[in-house]
Structure 1
Amino acid sequence: MATTTDPVPGAGTRTGKGIADTFLPGDADGAAPRYPLRTTVMGIVGSVLVLIASFGAAGVLVHDPILSDGPLSWIRFGHGQVLMTGLLYVGFGLVVWAWIRLGRYVLAGRVGTRPVVIAALSWMAPLLAAPPLFTRDVYSYLGQGAQLLHGLDPYAYGPSALQTLPTVVENVHPLWQTTPAPYGPLFLWVSKSIVGITGDNVIAGVIVTRLVLLAGLAAVLWALPRLVRRLGGNLPVTMWLAVASPMMVIHLVGGPHNDLLMLGFLTVGVLAALERKHAVAIVLVTIGMLIKPTAAIALPFLVWIWANHLPADKNLFRRFLTAVTPSVGIFGAVFVLGTWASLGSFNLGWFAGLSAPQIIVNWLNFPSGVGEAVHTLVKTVVDVPPAPFIDVARGLGWLVLAAIVVRQWWLARNGTENTTIFRMGIALLTVAIFAPPTLPWYLTWGFVILSLFRWKREHLAAVVGISVFLVLVYYPTGEQSLYHWLFILGVVAASVYASASLLKPDPLGLVAAWRKPDVRDPELPLNSPTSHATR
């Protein structure tokens, strides 16, 4: 976890050309003017392989107008699909490998911010044209937008109730065909606008959705450097962790997921609060909530920042009242106007829609996993259904979640800006883990905020393993693999190996068995006496 006493070094200028990568001059930010060319190209190759394979192995259309009956239709079925799935995992492996190598260079102070951002964007670019990766949620976005476009309340009905735009509707996952929308009204308006442009052309709808969501990425890229300067983090590490991560490249962009747009408003809103533009901060984060309700978790923390920016001659209670009163007023105005403008009426049906995703039950959500584990033990003695165990565990999980979030908020009352934002990140991460359901990309809520602080190497290595795991626990088609235990065993092994690789290149000695190390090699372990890493 992030820590304010992190030994991760700042970017230095010590360089050296090894046999594992080629570095070119050109970083203008003054941190470490080197580009890891081969590592960046490795990730691009991996991303292109993912793109090619995705047409047969990812969340493809039910009836693809291009591939279903053409000469390439074989890649969607039988052995062809198996081949494409294998190729996609190879491409993903190359992206992860490149990301880990890039991380080692960042931790060694050999590359600065610009090379990390360039690498991340170049890995994302091929995926803009890919079918949805490791999810089918974007089809639900389009289906719900189509409902709103054609006058059908997406908070009262699922997409299957829509009689028009059959191609859009048929590609919505069966689980969500009859489920009301769980998203904020502003995002439904965004989806409605996209479908208004692309109509029943789902391929165009997916691509345009990605392009719209890139506005969130642009906002994150603009806000993170300014936030890091205020909070004392390490900018290359932040960009590597928040932007170049497979969680961002594969899940939020490759998915794509509307969490990216919400994070854009959240990060810019947090920056506005730190710059004492408190009204603007409340407006921006409330808009983020109108996209995805999770952003609401940040609002109470922004009130503390406002209160702590007030003159210290007032006691805490008076400062809190002075800050919370306009905050509630601003929130209420933006909430009402945003809802009305998005839906054409003050429709609060989306609060009921928030319960819809809870039909997803898997052990990735901690309380659900506890309930399933207890049920498994009890079932060895007596045959009982799992639902009561899961319901009780989830009920207790809500209590634990409330206690943790309230405690984090209360502990932030007299804290510095760093403390308040850090506790906000903990709260967002806790919500992702304890509030059902837990979907892999939900953890980006907390990861992006916590990336603003300094991290210990060991904790960064843990995040590497978690990130790889959170991509692979879903199949490229968007179906979960969580109960295919042999597959999960392989996922865990790959995740642990990726985690260890950040701290020590080739941790199992697979390369050393046939290649003699070069003392100039930037792939040497970080703790090697001949390494260029700083401490």
Structure 2
Amino acid sequence: MATTTDPVPGAPSLGEDTGVPADGHPEARVREPSRFPYRTISMGTIGSVLLLLGALGAGGVLIRDPVIGTGPLSWVRYGHGRMLANAVLYAGFGLLMWAWVRLGRYMLAGRIGTRPILVAAACWMGPLLVSPPLFTRDVFSYLGQGAQLLHGLDPYAHGPAELEILPNIVQNVHPVWQTTPAPYGPLFLLVAKGVVALTGDNVIAGVIVTRLVLLIGLGAVIWSMPRLVHRLGGKLPVAMWLAVASPMTVIHLVGGPHNDLMMLGFLSVGLVAALERKHAVAIVLVTLGMLIKPTAAVALPFLVWVWANHLPGESRVKNFFKAGALSVGIFAVVFVLGTWVSLGSFNLGWVTGLQAPTLVTNWLNFPTGIGQAVYTLVHLVINVPESPFITAARALAMLALAVFGVRQWWKSRFGGNEAIFRAALTLLATAILAPPTLPWYLTWGFVVAAAFPWRRRHLAIVVGVSIFLVMAYYPTGEQALYDWWFVAIAIALGVYAAASLLRPDPLGLIGAWRRQTGAAPVEEGGQVPAA
């Protein structure tokens, strides 16, 4: 089946035809297969409900909870009750992951199109909208920083601990972030200020309203994905399965929740605008995304090349300088106005606030892990502090990232799809090399890359990585990366899930059970051929 655009040179390729037209344009008529994966969607929904129930005892619960508090259900947060809550939560996680992998198999076999994937994602996200925060406590920091702005305390100069009112919000901010300045863009702090103005000191309402507001970003991603797929040569069901129904989105970005979701909304719509030659709009949108979370700025230099290659004339140099000057001018206006409107002044304190997340040190950030490994070896011989090793490794990694980013930018000089592909690679490299690396950071590149062609084995790798990245933190939001038995289990589950995307029951466990019990196959739509 021919595509409407040529794939990006060097980009992944799905390989076999999935039965879904690569033309994901909104006007394209896609005939959905007759089978609808009701059981798979129901399995994931049950898993999501179990995540909700388990999170009441094992998630990011409040220090003083007005719902459970010290009442008859308070036992779920202590001792054996806490263990039971964790068991329920991880059982729900397992069901949700199993459902996502099954959905992926049906998609690759061409048995489902885009609509069942979006229905599944909606069903899986629904229960998590009212859940306690999952695998993070960042949302409490959002509320704390919004409360600071609301009550006249500069979030870029003070930590939430200095706020003397709204004690319920302040006491639930993680201790690490109690005294650190906000690392988020001013536009997001304005959003958080609006949430706190609406919900006050009611933290539960604040978490729910934050999630609902962040769904605007999810809606923007869903709107933009067919248009990106149409331009970038991917396949719409694959893109939606990766960018919307994935556990990185369902559990981390929505269940968390994380403001990366809103940033990705601005970024994805901005990329659509750039590819459709609405370049001024693209720069405005991506700059607004940067004012939510600064990472979006990584994409801006690549958009200059896209603009330059759309300009008429034979002088590539003149077109580049013209596009660059226009881009810088638009960026400056939006940056200044956005900061002024959000904060009431041109406050650049948020730039220095970007240092706050570097307090997080764990080996999920590749250079930090290298520094810790070298320190461990040296420490066997001589007693030295760890921090110089981490600092040196991070400095070298930032240099490598700068070289990589410039190289990708230069390779994008012919604009078009190549520039978007290189931007996605640079976003992924930023998440991996710049400190810190938090699991949901990898969605920056995943969402953009989802619109390109993919090979089956690459999709399997994404499955394994996604499952590990959800399990890298405990449901409470504390890291699990130094619990080596837990890490080994997470890696094993990720590898098994990755293999399961390409071949149902790769270890033959279910097949052996069926032969022993005489049970009939239960896979919807039958077996999916291996790649």
1:8 and 1:454 in contact (8 A); partners too: no
Match of 1:475 in 2: 474
Match of 2:177 in 1: 176
1:47 and 1:124 in contact (8 A); partners too: yes
Residue 9 of structure 2 is aligned to residue 10 of structure 1: no
1:204-223 alignment, distance < 5 Å: 204-223=205-224
Residue 527 of structure 2 is aligned to residue 524 of structure 1: yes
* Shift in Å, 1:310: 1.0
2:183 and 2:353 in contact (8 A); partners too: yes
Structure 1 CA distance for aligned equivalents of residues 261 and 335 of structure 2: 20
1:185 and 1:350 in contact (8 A); partners too: yes
SS in 1 for 2:509: coil
Residue 503 of structure 2 is aligned to residue 504 of structure 1: yes
Residue 322 of structure 2 is aligned to residue 322 of structure 1: yes
Residue 144 of structure 2 is aligned to residue 136 of structure 1: no
* Shift in Å, 1:377: 1.1
Structure 1 CA distance for aligned equivalents of residues 130 and 31 of structure 2: 34
* Shift in Å, 1:4: 4.8
Q: TM-score, normalised on structure 1? A: 0.94
Alpha-carbon spacing, 1:509–1:349, altered in 2? closer, same or farther (3 Å): same
Match of 2:83 in 1: 82
Structure 1 CA distance for aligned equivalents of residues 162 and 263 of structure 2: 28
Code of the aligned partner of 2:357: P
Structure 1 CA distance for aligned equivalents of residues 374 and 159 of structure 2: 33
* Shift in Å, 1:479: 0.3
2:136 and 2:476 in contact (8 A); partners too: yes
Structure 2 CA distance for aligned equivalents of residues 50 and 28 of structure 1: 36
How many pairs align?
513
* Shift in Å, 1:8: 3.9
Structure 1 CA distance for aligned equivalents of residues 224 and 523 of structure 2: 36
Match of 2:122 in 1: 121
* Shift in Å, 1:523: 4.8
Match of 2:4 in 1: none
Give every structure 1 segment of 4 or more consecutive aligned residues whose post-TM-superposition deviation is greater than 3 Å: 516-523
1:360-379 alignment, distance < 5 Å: 360-379=360-379
* Shift in Å, 1:471: 0.3
Match of 2:5 in 1: none
Match of 1:448 in 2: 447
Structure 1 CA distance for aligned equivalents of residues 201 and 526 of structure 2: 49
Code of the aligned partner of 1:307: A
Structure 2 CA distance for aligned equivalents of residues 349 and 518 of structure 1: 60
1:11 and 1:32 in contact (8 A); partners too: no
Match of 2:483 in 1: 484
Code of the aligned partner of 1:233: G
Structure 1 CA distance for aligned equivalents of residues 488 and 521 of structure 2: 34
SS in 2 for 1:388: helix
Structure 1 CA distance for aligned equivalents of residues 153 and 468 of structure 2: 38
* Shift in Å, 1:478: 0.3
Match of 2:58 in 1: 57
Alpha-carbon spacing, 1:354–1:388, altered in 2? closer, same or farther (3 Å): same
SS in 1 for 2:514: coil
SS in 2 for 1:512: helix
Structure 2 CA distance for aligned equivalents of residues 502 and 408 of structure 1: 31
* Shift in Å, 1:526: 2.0
* Shift in Å, 1:486: 1.0
SS in 2 for 1:515: helix
Code of the aligned partner of 1:269: G
Match of 1:380 in 2: 380
Structure 1 CA distance for aligned equivalents of residues 87 and 181 of structure 2: 35
2:159 and 2:177 in contact (8 A); partners too: yes
* Shift in Å, 1:470: 0.3
Structure 1 CA distance for aligned equivalents of residues 39 and 522 of structure 2: 19
* Cα distance per residue 1:106-148 (max 9 Å; x no partner): 0000000011011011100000000000000000000000000
2:11 and 2:421 in contact (8 A); partners too: no
* Cα distance per residue 1:396-445 (max 9 Å; x no partner): 00000001111101100024x22111101000000000000000000000
Structure 2 CA distance for aligned equivalents of residues 349 and 156 of structure 1: 7
1:58 and 1:476 in contact (8 A); partners too: yes
* Shift in Å, 1:326: 0.9
Q: TM-score, normalised on structure 2? A: 0.94
1:156-167 alignment, distance < 5 Å: 156-167=157-168
1:3 and 1:456 in contact (8 A); partners too: no
Alpha-carbon spacing, 1:488–1:518, altered in 2? closer, same or farther (3 Å): closer
Structure 2 CA distance for aligned equivalents of residues 468 and 393 of structure 1: 27
Structure 2 CA distance for aligned equivalents of residues 271 and 331 of structure 1: 18
Match of 1:68 in 2: 69
Structure 2 CA distance for aligned equivalents of residues 420 and 378 of structure 1: 43
* Shift in Å, 1:370: 0.6
Alpha-carbon spacing, 1:518–1:156, altered in 2? closer, same or farther (3 Å): closer
Structure 2 CA distance for aligned equivalents of residues 520 and 489 of structure 1: 29
Alpha-carbon spacing, 1:33–1:252, altered in 2? closer, same or farther (3 Å): same
Residue 228 of structure 2 is aligned to residue 227 of structure 1: yes
Which blocks of at least 5 consecutive residues in structure 2 are unaligned?
Answer: 1-7, 22-27
1:10-409 alignment, distance < 5 Å: 10-11=18-19, 29-311=30-312, 313-409=313-409
Structure 2 CA distance for aligned equivalents of residues 212 and 428 of structure 1: 24
* Shift in Å, 1:314: 2.4
Code of the aligned partner of 2:351: F
* Shift in Å, 1:6: 3.3
2:211 and 2:254 in contact (8 A); partners too: yes
Alpha-carbon spacing, 1:520–1:259, altered in 2? closer, same or farther (3 Å): closer
Alpha-carbon spacing, 1:215–1:475, altered in 2? closer, same or farther (3 Å): same
Structure 2 CA distance for aligned equivalents of residues 355 and 202 of structure 1: 27
Code of the aligned partner of 2:194: S
Structure 2 CA distance for aligned equivalents of residues 32 and 301 of structure 1: 38
Match of 1:458 in 2: 457
**Which of 2-11 and 119-128 deviates more?**
2-11
Structure 2 CA distance for aligned equivalents of residues 349 and 472 of structure 1: 34
Structure 2 CA distance for aligned equivalents of residues 29 and 163 of structure 1: 57
SS in 1 for 2:396: helix
SS in 1 for 2:183: coil
**Which of 244-253 and 72-81 deviates more?**
72-81
Code of the aligned partner of 1:165: L
